[in-house]
Amino acid sequence: DTEVTQTPKHLVMGMTNKKSLKCEQHMGHRAMYWYKQKAKKPPELMFVYSYEKLSINESVPSRFSPECPNSSLLNLHLHALQPEDSALYLCASSQTGANEKLFFGSGTQLSVL
């Protein structure tokens, strides 16, 4: 199994809603990532988890709250988002070696109204 599965594929939410994005992998990878991608732009790193501990937070606003409940799952909790947070949210995983490739999910397309 070489897949990273993200749910939901599409999400529309209001600015007062609370929602969660989910990501799952069964490749035994111990590093997991959240990236944000605006239209026609490259992915931008948000968070990195290594061995279920948060190792990088790229100064992301607190309305985004990551969680890694176990080595296969990664969540991104969303609360009080702004319309400018509308984007494609990509999850990825990798081995923890120095130059391991990242395996990406197909993303969640988020629209904030």
Partner 1 sequence: AQKITQTQPGMFVQEKEAVTLDCTYDTSDPSYGLFWYKQPSSGEMIFLIYQGSYDQQNATEGRYSLNFQKARKSANLVISASQLGDSAMYFCAMREPDTGRRALTFGSGTRLQVQP
Contact residues for partner 1, defined by CB under 8 A: 31, 33, 41-45, 48, 50, 56, 88, 90, 92, 96, 98-99, 101-107, 109
Three-class DSSP labels, 23-77: EEECCCCCEEEEEEECCCCCCEEEEEEECCEEEEECCCCCCEEEEEEECCEEEEE
Question: 60 or 80, CB closer to partner 1?
Answer: 60
Question: 16 or 40, CB closer to partner 1?
Answer: 40
Shortest gap between Cβ of 87 and partner 1 (angstroms)? 11
Shortest gap between Cβ of 73 and partner 1 (angstroms)? 19
Question: 22 or 103, CB closer to partner 1?
Answer: 103
Q: What are phi and psi of 15, to 5 degrees?
A: -70, -15
Residue for token pair 């969303």: 78
